[in-house]
Structure 1
Amino acid sequence: MSQEPLSTTLVIQNALLASRLARRVSHRLSMHGINLTEYLVMHYLSGSANNAVPRIELAEHIGMSASGVTRLIAPMEKNGLITKRANPRDARQSLVKLSKTGMRLYREASVSFESVASDSIGGLSRSQQSKLVELLAKVL
């Protein structure tokens, strides 16, 4: 019986970890009426300059196609979580921005998100957590 390459084991374990974390986080975020992908959108928008970014940039960040992001943000806009505005640098493109309601919901959901995150890595020391973040950044 041959052993798998370490790279294969790492990618498989990472995929399983991502799936399990997504399931835990999604369950907790559902109490706020959003899913993990919507939370990732809100998180990215909350940290951007003026909280507004082009859809293409948003798509690249969360790993979706531009059309996928358009379908994702349509209900978020309808529910008043985000707004779209014209891009002063490119009239062909709109910017996506968190609304005040979206920012409030993001802050509330972040408490739940952080709770799940803390529980998930609670068995690691602060030093191990920092090292893991550093290593994952190299892979990404």
Structure 2
Amino acid sequence: MNKQDLIIATAILQAQLLKKIDQHLSVHGISFSEFLVMHFLNAAPHKTMRRIDLAESIGLSASGVTRLVNPMVKNHLVEKESNPRDARVSLVKLSETGANLFKDASASFKLSAESILKPLDDKQTKTLAELIEKLL
């Protein structure tokens, strides 16, 4: 497989993975993108991040993360906060409701990940992880 075909195959694989993961997370009423938001907020100090840092973490533009986060605010999964040090900087915080949903959705995500990677043995999984890390 040449490099161009490898990139195309990787894009197709990504689309298929997202579809499978979204199916598992849909029972919780969230998408994988929303799961990623909660994942990064859950890991952040005080479960809070600057909107721009959150956008960078999940690979979206600032406006893209705004479009993703706004419905999450309406559903009480995250909260908007103002930055006491700089009013121009907006913060996003994982709400208690969001933290509880994230805990439940994480169990579904773990099962999904295990199912997706089942064809690979431990050595292949480790090699794949190393290769992806190198490309990132």
Provide TM-score, normalisation by structure 1: 0.91
Match of 1:29 among 25, 50, 75: 25
CA apart distance, 1:45: 0.9
Q: Equivalents in 2 of 1:139, 1:10: separation in Å?
A: 13
In the other structure, the counterpart of 2:15 is 19
2:81 counterpart SS class: strand
Q: Equivalents in 2 of 1:7, 1:45: separation in Å?
A: 35
Q: Equivalents in 2 of 1:108, 1:42: separation in Å?
A: 12
Counterpart residue identity of residue 19, structure 2: R
Match of 1:100 among 96, 108, 115: 96
Q: Equivalents in 2 of 1:51, 1:130: separation in Å?
A: 29
Structure 1 residue runs of 4+, over 6 Å off? none
Structure 2 unaligned regions, length at least 5: none
Match of 1:116 among 90, 97, 112: 112
Match of 1:76 among 44, 57, 72: 72
In the other structure, the counterpart of 1:64 is 60
Q: Equivalents in 2 of 1:89, 1:59: separation in Å?
A: 20
Deviations 1:94-136 (A, max 9, x none): 1111111101101101111111110111121112211211110
Match of 2:124 among 128, 132, 135: 128
Q: Equivalents in 2 of 1:118, 1:134: separation in Å?
A: 18
Name the % identity.
47
In the other structure, the counterpart of 2:5 is 9
CA apart distance, 1:7: 1.7
Provide TM-score, normalisation by structure 2: 0.94
Q: Equivalents in 1 of 2:32, 2:86: separation in Å?
A: 30
CA apart distance, 1:60: 1.2
CA apart distance, 1:88: 3.2
Superposed CA RMSD in Å reads 1.2
